[in-house]
Amino acid sequence: MQNTYDVIVTGAGAAGLAAAVEAARAGASVLVLEKNHVPGRKILSTGAGKCNFSNASVTPARYHPPAAAFLKKTFAALPPAGVTAFFEGLGLLWVKEADGRLFPRSMRAQDVVGALSNELAFRGGRIQTLTEVTALTPGGGGFSVEACKVAPQWEKKAGRGEKFLLGARRVVLAAGGPCYPQIGGSASGAALLRALGHAVSALVPVIAPLRSGETFLKELDGVRAPVALRLMLDGEPLAESAGELLFTAYGVSGPAVLDLSRAAVTAMKDYKVYLEADFFPELTEKKLYALLEKRAALFAGRPLRHFACGLLNEKLIKAAALRCGLGWDAPIGPGLDGLAAMLKAFPVSVKGSLGFEDAMVTAGGCSLAEIDPATFASRLVPGLYVAGELLDLDGDSGGYNLHLAWTSGILAGRAAAKE
């Protein structure tokens, strides 16, 4: 077949670009097919445009469902420090934040995509954008790759181009998951895998804002606060996080919520769960009550809203006070013990998570039993490699998902070029 490459990579995302760079460095002819109009579109949106590309504490325990045996072999083949070394080799300076999250020193996700794309071009690899892979057919010691030209996402009415075929000795499938379809997320990789006979478990949105039916949310829409957050079941914490909590009209979001969302989504299948926000994590309830009492003496005879100003975001303390039955305009009186308890454990019911449109990561995907953990080669289809979010493996928030995408992509690209 004309137009045959050593390696065709499906998807110019994090895993696909890393695979393409490593395969091209090893001397393979490499073509990356990407349906978006630019490579690395999702990378550009990560870490709010700053790209939290890894974490200093990567361990198998950070990944779900538990896959310690699989990841032990993966991290033996490419230890976590191999990922930072990979980026240093691309010329990217990086920094570690106090909580262990790694970012490019420039704090620009664009530099991560740029460093990968520049290296790929320098090594002779090509990226063909606005091209969607529609079928992968093994045969003749390689693959026939069926693809078609597609219009950019904003041209909603444009049709697809004619289908055409390319040849590949090896294929790296790195098409990601369906999260954020507005920037290219799609389940097409899962469909390609199923068509090749791979077992793909149900795709579920995780690391997502949570929905709640609370009426007070209308008043709190847009309010942010640093909190300690607990996911509760029957009065017992199931999981805890700390960081910013963002109230929205539909529910809650922000890093503290995203950290708990996977546990919430999983527990919600069987139990009724709720969140408890602690707005004063640095104080015990007793100390907070003492602080409120002291403040009440200072504001004696004055309305609660005067007492509240400067204590916490006014909308938050008003919501907490109303939930304790305290009048906002009434003079401060008894009930401050209840207010202290409410500010230490402000309950928010959880009704579900937002869907793929707002979720950052997909759980579920290609069965790990069918993948070699050191090369990411398919155990079912010779010459096929599967990398990134398409695998049935998702990480905690904090750089772990991108770390897995780079790791699996690097190992797959190296192995595909060698085979």
Rounded-to-10 torsion of CA 209, 210, 214, 215:
30
CB of 319 to ligand FAD, least distance (A): 28
Contact of 355 with 365, CB cutoff 8 Å: no
Q: Which residue is nearest to ligand FAD (CB)?
A: 13
CB of 69 to ligand FAD, least distance (A): 22
N-terminal to C-terminal alpha carbon distance within the chain: 20
Select the residue interacting with ligand FAD from 6, 34, 111, 372 (CB under 6 A).
Answer: 34
Rounded-to-10 torsion of CA 116, 120, 122, 125:
-170
CB of 284 to ligand FAD, least distance (A): 34
Rounded Cα distance, 188 and 160, in Å: 15
262 binds ligand FAD (CB under 6 A): no
Map the footprint of ligand FAD across residues 370-389, applying CB under 6 A. 388-389
The single-letter DSSP state of residue 235 is: T
Tell me whether strands 4-10 and 163-173 are parallel, antiparallel or unpaired.
parallel
Contact of 305 with 329, CB cutoff 8 Å: yes
* Of 261, 172, 269, 274, the residue nearest 213 (C-alpha): 274
Rounded Cα distance, 353 and 360, in Å: 12
Rounded Cα distance, 38 and 389, in Å: 19
83 binds ligand FAD (CB under 6 A): no
x/- mask, ligand FAD, residues 42-71, rule CB under 6 A, reads: x--xxx----x-------------------
Select the residue interacting with ligand FAD from 5, 11, 193, 254 (CB under 6 A).
Answer: 11
CB of 402 to ligand FAD, least distance (A): 3
Map the footprint of ligand FAD across residues 302-361, applying CB under 6 A. 360-361
Q: How many residues bind ligand FAD (CB under 6 A)?
A: 39
Rounded Cα distance, 42 and 173, in Å: 16
**Nearest CB to ligand FAD, comparing residues 14 and 77:** 14
Rounded Cα distance, 397 and 387, in Å: 19
Number of CB atoms found within 10 A of residue 221's CB = 12
14 binds ligand FAD (CB under 6 A): yes
Contact of 408 with 376, CB cutoff 8 Å: yes
**Nearest CB to ligand FAD, comparing residues 36 and 346:** 36
What is the sign of the dihedral through the CA atoms of 127, 131, 132 and 133?
negative
Q: Six-digit token pair at 356?
A: 């793929």
13 binds ligand FAD (CB under 6 A): yes
Scanning 138-146, 232-240, 248-256, 395-403 for contacts with ligand FAD by CB under 6 A, the matching segment is: 395-403
259 binds ligand FAD (CB under 6 A): no
Scanning 31-39, 84-92, 280-288, 313-321 for contacts with ligand FAD by CB under 6 A, the matching segment is: 31-39
* Of 276, 290, 277, the residue nearest 340 (C-alpha): 290
Map the footprint of ligand FAD across residues 111-140, applying CB under 6 A. 132-133
State the amino acid at position 213 in one-letter form: G
Select the residue interacting with ligand FAD from 92, 166, 319, 402 (CB under 6 A).
Answer: 402
CB of 26 to ligand FAD, least distance (A): 19
CB of 115 to ligand FAD, least distance (A): 15
Contact of 35 with 130, CB cutoff 8 Å: yes
**Nearest CB to ligand FAD, comparing residues 133 and 228:** 133
Map the footprint of ligand FAD across residues 149-178, applying CB under 6 A. 174-176
Select the residue interacting with ligand FAD from 114, 125, 184, 373 (CB under 6 A).
Answer: 184
Rounded Cα distance, 336 and 293, in Å: 7
Interface residues toward ligand FAD, by CB under 6 A: 10-16, 33-36, 41-42, 45-47, 52, 132-133, 174-176, 179-180, 184-186, 188-189, 360-361, 388-390, 399-402, 405
